[in-house]
Amino acid sequence: MLRESNTMKYLIKNGIVINEGRTEPLDILIENEIIQRIDRDISDAQATVIDAAGQYVIPGIIDDQVHFREPGLTHKATIYSEAKAAIAGGVTSFMEQPNTNPAALTQELLEQKYQIAAQTSLANYTFFMGTSNDNYDEVMRTDFSKVGALKIFMGSSTGNMLVDDEHVLSRIFANTSGTVVTHCEDETTIRNNTAAFRERYGENIPMNFHPVIRNDEACYISSELAVSLAQKHQTRLHIFHLSTAKELSFFTNEIPLKDKRITSEVCVHHLYFDETDYARYGSQIKCNPAIKYQHDKEALLQALLDDRLDVVATDHAPHTWEEKQQAYFKAPSGVPLVQHSLNIMLEFYQQGKISLEKIIEKMCHAPAVCFKVEKRGFLREGYFADIALLDLNTNWQVNKENILYHCGWSPLEQHTFKGKVVNTFVNGQLVYDNGNFDESKKGERLLFDPSH
C-alpha cells in the first residue's frame, strides 16, 4: 500500500538503471520534483526508501501520440481515465491529438483542453494544435514553447480534420516555426479503393480488406508529399505511425537524431499485429493507417533497430465495445494501447528481438529529443523525476479487472505478458504503487525549447 508521508524526498535503492544506452546498478535520490543525485550507495536519512532490488529503473515513457477523447467524446474516454491507464503502464507524459469535439482548431479551444488536464490528469501532458483548410491565422498564433506541435491530417481518420488543400499545406509548412506532425494517407487512393470494394461487398466489407483499401500506396503517396514539402521549406517534420516497408526509403540513420529535420514514429500495433490477425480480432484492430502485412511488420522492426525509425508510441484511440462491433463502414478505427505499450515491447525483448536499452531509447529518450521536451525523457540530475520501476520476472494476464481504459476492453485480453510496471513516479510523486494510485497531485504541462 502507499505510505502516508509528508516528505517529498525518495531514495530508490538497489535498482538496475537503464538510461542512455547503459544498464548498471545505481541509486536515485529524488527531492520534491527533481532528481537530485544518481550514484552508487546513496544514503539519506530523511528520504523514504524504495527498495528496487531485482527491479529495473527507467525514465518515464513519453507517448507522442494519444487520443484521450475529451472534450465531447467522453463516452469513449476521458483525460482522467486514460492518463491513469498510462501511468499504470509506465507512461508519465503524453501528447494528445486535436480531433476531439470540438476539434482544437482555435487557441481558445486548445487551452480548454489544458485546463481540463490541469485538474484531472495524473500524467504530464501537451495538446497539439489542430489544422484545417481554413484556420491558418489561428495556427500561426501557436506558442511552441508551450505546445508540442501542429497536427495535420493529410488523410482523413477519426474526426473531420482532413487538410487536402495543397496551397494551405504549403503555406503552413513554409511559415510555421515549430514541429509539424502528420497523419499520412492519400485520400484519393483510399476513396477509389473503397468504391471498388463497396461495389463488390456492399456495406459488409470483410475486415481483412482494410489494409488493401488503405494500402501501402496510399501511405507512400502522402508521406512523399509531406517529405517534399518539408524539404522544400526546411520544416521540422515528424511523420506519425509508419505502417509500410515502402515508406522507409524516406528516412535515414546517417544523421544523429538531434540533427534530423525529418523524423518518424512507429506504433506498437504495427509492430505486433499483421494481416493474419484480422481473422481473430476483426474490427478490434481496425485502425488508420491499417495494420499491414508480415513483411511490413518485420521491416518496421528492423528500421527501428537501425535507427531509420525514431520513436515508438501508441496512437492510443479508444472506442466503446459496441461501436467496434459494427460492420466495416460504421466500426470506427482505433485501438486502446497506452496501458500496454511497454508490455508489448518487453515481449519483443523476451523474444530476443530488441534490447532493453533500445526500448528505453525509442520510448523515453527519442520523444524528448524529437520534440525538445524540457528536462524529461532521461534519468539525469536536475531533470524532473519521471521514473518507472519494472519487474521483468512476473507473469500476468490482461483481463477486464486490470484494464483501466474507460472503454473497458483491449485486443490483448487473455494474453499473458512477462514483466510489469510496479511503481511510477511523476514529478517526484509516487503516483502508482503496485496497483494503488495516489491522486493527490496532478501532472504538469510539458514545456519545450524550440530554439534548442
| pLDDT value, residue 160 | 60
CA torsion sign, 96 to 176 to 218 to 250? negative
At a CB cut-off of 8 Å and minimum separation 6, what does 141 contact? 107
- Residues 421, 414: Cα–Cα separation, whole Å: 18
For residue 118, the SS3 value is helix
Beta partners for residue 207, in sequence order: none
- Which of the residues in the chain have pLDDT under 70? 1-7, 155-160, 451-452
**Per-residue confidence (pLDDT) for residue 261, from 0 to 100:** 97
Q: Give the Cα separation of 126 and 301 in Å (integer).
A: 27
pLDDT of residue 7: 57
Q: Give the alpha-carbon dihedral of 125, 130, 366, 230, to 10 degrees.
A: -160
Given a contact cutoff of 8 angstroms between Cβ atoms, the answer to whether 27 and 11 are in contact is: yes
pLDDT of residue 163: 87
Neighbours of 61 (CB within 10 A): 31
Distance of alpha carbon 307 from the chain centroid: 18
Separation in Å, CA 139 to CA 111, 146, 199, 243, 341: 13, 14, 40, 28, 31
DSSP conformation letters of 62-108: EEEEE---TTT-TTT--HHHHHHHHHHTTEEEEEE-S-SSS-S-SHH
What is the rounded end-to-end Cα distance, in angstroms, of the chain?
Answer: 42
- Hey, which bits of 74-221 come out as E strands? 91-96, 124-127, 129-130, 150-153, 179-183
pLDDT at 452: 52
Q: Which domains does the chain carry? A: 9-58+380-394+415-437 (2.30.40.10), 61-371 (3.20.20.140)
Task: Return the C-alpha torsion angle 271, 275, 281, 287, nearest 10.
Answer: 60
Residues 275, 293: contact at Cβ < 8 Å? yes
How many other CB atoms are found less than 10 A from the CB of residue 430?
24
What was the pLDDT predicted at 157? 53
